[in-house]
Amino acid sequence: MEEEKISSARILVVEDEEGIQELLRVALKRQGFEVRCEGSVESAEPALQSWAPQLVILDWMLPGENGLAWCRALRRCEETQKLPIILLTARGEEGDRVHGLESGADDYLAKPFSPRELVARVNALLRRSYGNNAAGVVKLGELHVDLRAHRVYVKDVQLHLGPTEFRLLRLFVTNPDRVFSRDMLLDQIWGRQSFIEERTVDVHIRRLRRVLDEYGHAPLIETVRGEGYRCSAVVGGV
């Protein structure tokens, strides 16, 4: 039986070796994950803020600030204290593994590694970190968001959202109470290379709210004056 995973979970890979970057990208994308690769802590930090990954795969030895130091920094920050982190390193001795785990990593994988083992560890850590949401369904009162099937229901009635509106809703419900600026939403939903005006974000937010409003859930997406938008509350999960 195939292991359950959080469908389309966003995984940030911080690894400076291009060959290993590509190996990770291919293995994870093949399993349905969204993957973003960065080669240093300096380039990963803005990606962490704008892309809101659900798991980080972090190399120990990186140019500039090393991965172990960044792992400690992430654990000191309230916003990233519980962010799942898998540490990659060529250091395979027991003392190194203990040092990595004591620095805040949730799991540790020594190079060279099997892509199959890596994917299994990713799935296991996602299940541990996100509990019942590993089945891919988030509940917001009577509203059910099926992350795997890309469907949204109120009770037994399916809501019809466009693909952009669904991606927006998915981002909000998997990051409750986090404020996303328009720039962050442009980067997350449309990508860094797109040339989309900020007003486009407002148009799609209005469309999403219009559908949610038919079932009394429009207040779910709050406007934060001068900042952007956020999901006001998530109730439970399956």
Lowest mean pLDDT among 52-66, 72-86, 183-197: 183-197
Strands (E) in the chain, as ranges, are 10-14, 34-38, 55-59, 85-89, 107-110, 137-140, 143-146, 151-154, 157-159, 221-224, 228-231
pLDDT of residue 77: 85
> pLDDT grade, residue 6 (50/70/90)?
low
pLDDT of residue 151: 85
pLDDT higher than threshold 70 for residue 91: no
Query: In the structure encoding, which two tokens stand for residue 136, read together?
Result: 């891919």
| Enclosing H/E stretch for 192 | none
Q: For 173-190, what is the mean pLDDT?
A: 86
pLDDT of residue 1: 29
Within a 13 Å sphere around the CA of 54, how many CA atoms are in the beta-carbon half? 27
Cβ–Cβ under 8 Å, residues 148 and 31: no
In 3D, which of 3, 4, 41, 30 has the Cα closest to residue 12? Answer: 41
pLDDT of residue 90: 78
pLDDT higher than threshold 80 for residue 2: no
